Amino acid sequence: MRTVNMHEAKTHLSGLVERASKGESFIIARAGKPLVKVTALEEEPKPKRRLGTLDGLYEIPEDFDTMFQDEIIAMFEGKER
């Protein structure tokens, strides 16, 4: 396993992180003394979405896409009803 000093880790952090994300772990040391081990995290599986969990709880009216159409047009035209 590769050991890098603190200065090198600061200077080349993005490259080191990129390599670690691909599975190449490394150790950061200060004055030759190992401090931390950097290794890639395992991706946590996302829970599966359950479709239809609200099925039957709500009812959409037949005229949903035209509900309050006259009132909305009047508001846009500046007319009061």
Tokens encoding 7: 């200065």
Residue 61 inside a domain? The answer is no
Residue 11 domain-assigned? yes
Place of tokens 């007319």: 79
**What is the extent of the structural domain holding 6?**
2-38
29 is a domain residue: yes
Q: Quote the pLDDT of residue 81.
A: 56
Number of domains in the chain: 1
Burial class of residue 8 in the structure, from the number of CB atoms within 10 Å of its CB (0-12 exposed, 13-18 middle, 19+ buried): middle
Predicted local confidence at residue 54, as pLDDT: 83
pLDDT for the residue numbered 12: 95
Within-domain flag for 47? no
Q: What is the pLDDT of residue 48?
A: 87
For the stretch 13-66, pLDDT in tens is 999 999 999 999 999 999 999 999 999 998 888 888 888 888 888 888 899 899
Q: Is residue 68 part of a domain?
A: no
Whole-model pTM? 0.53
| Residue 54, domain member (yes or no) | no
